Structure 1
Amino acid sequence: MSELINNRKHRQKMLKEVIKELHDGRTVDEVKEKFAKVIEGVSASEISAMETQLVKEGLPIEEIQRLCNVHAAVFKGSIEEIHHPEEVPGHPVYTMRQENKAIEEYMDETLNNNLKEFKEDDSKENINNLIQDLNLLWDIDKHYSRKENLIFPYLEKYGITAPPKVMWGVDDDIRALIKEGKLMLTDYRGNKEEVIEKIENMANEIKEMIFKEESILFPMALETLTEDEWIAIYKESDEIGYALIEPETQWELKRINISDTEEKLPEAGHVRFETGFLTPEEISQILNVIPGDMTFIDKNDTVKYFSQGKERIFARTKAVIGRSVQNCHPPASVHIVDKILEDFKSGKKDHEDFWIKMGDLYVLIRYFAVRSKDGEYLGTLEFTQNIAPIKGIEGEKRLLSE
């Protein structure tokens, strides 16, 4: 029997049965007792493989998500014994663990005390204290966003797809709980018990997510991602921001400079950008599908490009390419064009807007100075759009159109 238990395929099968039996209504204690020996020593990567296989077999992500807290409790004893690779201050995972520590401490030391005060007296002051707590805890969105937009894409590259989908769903649930709690407090109507339940549920979900990250996600990511990938994550983290704390130090990278040959290269026929690469056809069609007209003139005031979208407002022909922009306007308005370009070239302005009514159209005409990273003037982009449909938008739309 021990040979079977140590057999990875057998254990994978039994772990899948744990989730399925829980789904069918078995209690956590029943499952724990039956599979205590099977789950001993289980690794984070095996849990990942299990969830991926369940999804492949047709179990909806929502079902795994619904059972997420339950199966985390089942595996908790064994997962806590997983060896975590050594981390250094500044490493993305080190910073995320410091954030988790700060979040947990804030909930234990501040939120819990303020909630206790609210339970005893739902005064305006105590309500405001809880609103302040939820505003601060919304910072957790930055923590989740770095996880979802920096770590998950790399895991998916290695075929690890189910755990990120499940975790992202729970992240969104937590975001919703924070928003709902704040709304209930802002529009407080004496429903004290409902507010308390909402906030306690939120705090519990946050702590469960911290456990899942620390015991499942981080070990799995550290085991899977390469040093170059962690460097890329580190370099992009500042753009999203951090929750409650800032990294206490910079990460001392072993490889400070990554040459172009070390980064992922585009396939032949692609144009490379700082944030990806596209084929010329993709570039053209992306520009054409944008709802508005775009025209670009270079630093010498020569027309070099215009888009050909379906919603074109002003006529353009290919004969305009290579023409001086001053010659494309009536003499009476050339002085306005010259003034805009003069301000852009001198650095006095970076954009200029005009809006006019043309029958049923309400046309917004925007001019933007295009500059290099060093601030050198490269040209001007004109963007024209009918904003009448946008001005008519009211309320919210959260469902797909039929």
Structure 2
Amino acid sequence: MSRIINNREYRQKKLKEIILELHNGKNVDEVREKFQEIIKGVSTKEISEMEAELIKEGMKVEEIQRLCDVHAAVFKGSIEEIHHPEKEEGHPVDVIKKENEAVKSYIKSHLMPNLDELKKADSHSVRLKLMENINMLFDLDKHYSRKENLIFPYLEKYGITAPPKVMWGVDDEIRGALKECKEVVNTVEKGPQEIITIIENTTKRIDEMIFKEENILLPMCIDTFSEDEWLDIESESDEIGYCLVSPSVKWKPIRENLEGKEKSKLANENSEGYIKFDTGILKVNEISAILDTLPLDITFVDKEGIVKYFSGGSERIFPRTKTVIGRKVQNCHPPASVHIVEKVVEDLKSGEKEHEDFWIHMGELYVLIKYYAVKNEKGEFIGVLEITQNIKEIQEITGEKRLLE
């Protein structure tokens, strides 16, 4: 493990050296060659850590922003490929990619032919066409606004702060460049060559941002966000709007129809709403009230990995929403921690362990988290019970307090 950590630290150090060399005026091709010699492949996470480290060491965000397009070009052929399954239609990732494809297609099929016309002959009609093209590309503002106001806050929640700062700055530069394109095209005194140069530079920056979104930003988000967080992003997206194309369908995560599935199994419940146990009889509303009154949080996941129930106490330690019911438990956690969840469930399901315990400090709380293998009367595994409790007050108990007192 120490060898892996040291290797990561070494690569991190070398990545910073390369960026600083670019900052000090080194030739891009020269840096690219050195990069390929030293680094076999870097992940998007390492790029994020590198930028965060540079900011922590005092380099201004504006400095990294100025280098952003340069080091993206260096990394372009070297970023380690991370294969993620394609997201369902209407998922925020799918929407971003389709918008990017629409922008690239529009530039190629509309803007560039008009720019070629301008290269042949300057005319008022050609400039009007270019103005229309640029106005269409102003739709990118919605694309960038969704990214900045819906995606970046979640990255920052997970402590990923440098890439959002840098990318937001570049977004603003592209917005400014589009305004400048419009002004230049609309100014009679500006010649064709000046128009061509600024438009070509702007479209190059747009293309580079598309690359950064799809090869750095989105893989980072896919590795980090939970399904509920993507659902929140999707639900707020309509208010900001879309760029050139809109989602054709509304994305909804797959949910198990637990109510229909379990309805036929409630044979123990009579028409008056009682459930008979081996140790007594309770009304359904009594069971719910009892579970909600317990000074701990309960979540039950069945043997198929579907979340079937959570208690509704007034002071839950970890928030739960009813949207988790019917979901695979893996989808209730960020992808980066899914392997831990799967290992706990597998150990309990296989019988290797009967329970697994964790305890963590959360501000003033001291939280005990226990996972139990739940088995039926035949000893067969039927699910996992998670119990979460703040044990701070229990730890502080001293002496005795008898009933009579």
Which range, TM-score by smaller chain? Answer: 0.5 to 0.7
Alignment-derived partner of residue 83 in structure 1: 83
Alignment-derived partner of residue 194 in structure 1: 194
Q: Does 1:33 align with 2:36?
A: no
| AA partner of residue 204 (structure 2) | N
Secondary structure of the residue aligned to 1:67 is: helix
Alignment-derived partner of residue 43 in structure 1: 43
Alignment-derived partner of residue 243 in structure 2: 243
Alignment-derived partner of residue 208 in structure 2: 208
Secondary structure of the residue aligned to 1:73 is: helix
**1:92-241 matched pairs, under 5 angstroms:** 92-241=92-241
Q: Which moved more, 1:241-250 or 1:136-145?
A: 241-250
Secondary structure of the residue aligned to 1:107 is: helix
Deviation at 1:196, TM superposition (A): 1.4
Deviation at 1:80, TM superposition (A): 6.0
Pair 209,80 (structure 1): closer, same or farther in 2 beyond 3 Å: farther
| AA partner of residue 70 (structure 1) | V
Structure 1 gaps of 5+ residues are 269-402
Q: Distance in 2 between matches of 1:77 and 1:147?
A: 25
Alignment-derived partner of residue 273 in structure 1: none
Alignment-derived partner of residue 324 in structure 2: none
Pair 55,255 (structure 1): closer, same or farther in 2 beyond 3 Å: farther
Pair 75,209 (structure 1): closer, same or farther in 2 beyond 3 Å: same
**1:43-62 matched pairs, under 5 angstroms:** 43-62=43-62
| AA partner of residue 208 (structure 2) | E
| AA partner of residue 48 (structure 1) | S
| AA partner of residue 164 (structure 1) | P
Q: CA RMSD in A?
A: 2.8
Deviation at 1:4, TM superposition (A): 7.9
Secondary structure of the residue aligned to 1:36 is: helix
Deviation at 1:26, TM superposition (A): 1.4
Q: Distance in 1 between matches of 2:176 and 2:204?
A: 14
Q: Distance in 2 between matches of 1:267 and 1:239?
A: 31
Deviation at 1:8, TM superposition (A): 1.0
What TM-score, normalized by structure 2, do the two folds share? Answer: 0.61
| AA partner of residue 129 (structure 1) | K
Q: Distance in 1 between matches of 2:255 and 2:184?
A: 49
Q: Which moved more, 1:55-64 or 1:71-80?
A: 71-80
Deviation at 1:5, TM superposition (A): 10
Conserved 8 A contact 1:39-1:75 = no
Q: Distance in 2 between matches of 1:15 and 1:86?
A: 30
Pair 253,110 (structure 1): closer, same or farther in 2 beyond 3 Å: same
Q: Does 1:22 align with 2:22?
A: yes
Conserved 8 A contact 2:131-2:182 = yes
| AA partner of residue 222 (structure 2) | L
Q: Distance in 1 between matches of 2:52 and 2:212?
A: 16
**1:243-322 matched pairs, under 5 angstroms:** 243-254=243-254
Q: Distance in 2 between matches of 1:266 and 1:240?
A: 34
Deviation at 1:267, TM superposition (A): 11
Pair 211,86 (structure 1): closer, same or farther in 2 beyond 3 Å: same
Conserved 8 A contact 1:65-1:167 = yes
How many residues of Structure 1 are paired with residues of Structure 2 in the alignment? 264
Secondary structure of the residue aligned to 1:82 is: coil
What TM-score, normalized by structure 1, do the two folds share? Answer: 0.61
Pair 183,266 (structure 1): closer, same or farther in 2 beyond 3 Å: farther
CA displacement, residues 98-132 of structure 1 (integer Å, 9 cap, x when unaligned) = 10011011111211100010121221110100000
Conserved 8 A contact 1:85-1:222 = no
Structure 2 gaps of 5+ residues are 258-309, 318-405
Q: Does 1:10 align with 2:4?
A: no
CA displacement, residues 272-296 of structure 1 (integer Å, 9 cap, x when unaligned) = xxxxxxxxxxxxxxxxxxxxxxxxx
| AA partner of residue 96 (structure 1) | I
Deviation at 1:248, TM superposition (A): 2.6
Identity over aligned pairs, percent: 57
Pair 19,255 (structure 1): closer, same or farther in 2 beyond 3 Å: farther
Secondary structure of the residue aligned to 1:78 is: coil
CA displacement, residues 115-169 of structure 1 (integer Å, 9 cap, x when unaligned) = 0101212211101000000010000100000000000000001111111111111
Conserved 8 A contact 1:5-1:11 = no
Deviation at 1:192, TM superposition (A): 1.9
Pair 32,6 (structure 1): closer, same or farther in 2 beyond 3 Å: farther
Alignment-derived partner of residue 346 in structure 1: none
Pair 267,211 (structure 1): closer, same or farther in 2 beyond 3 Å: same
Alignment-derived partner of residue 69 in structure 1: 69
Secondary structure of the residue aligned to 2:78 is: helix
Pair 62,242 (structure 1): closer, same or farther in 2 beyond 3 Å: same
Alignment-derived partner of residue 377 in structure 2: none
| AA partner of residue 84 (structure 1) | H
Where in structure 1 do 4 or more consecutive aligned residues deviate above 6 Å?
3-6, 265-268
| AA partner of residue 243 (structure 1) | C
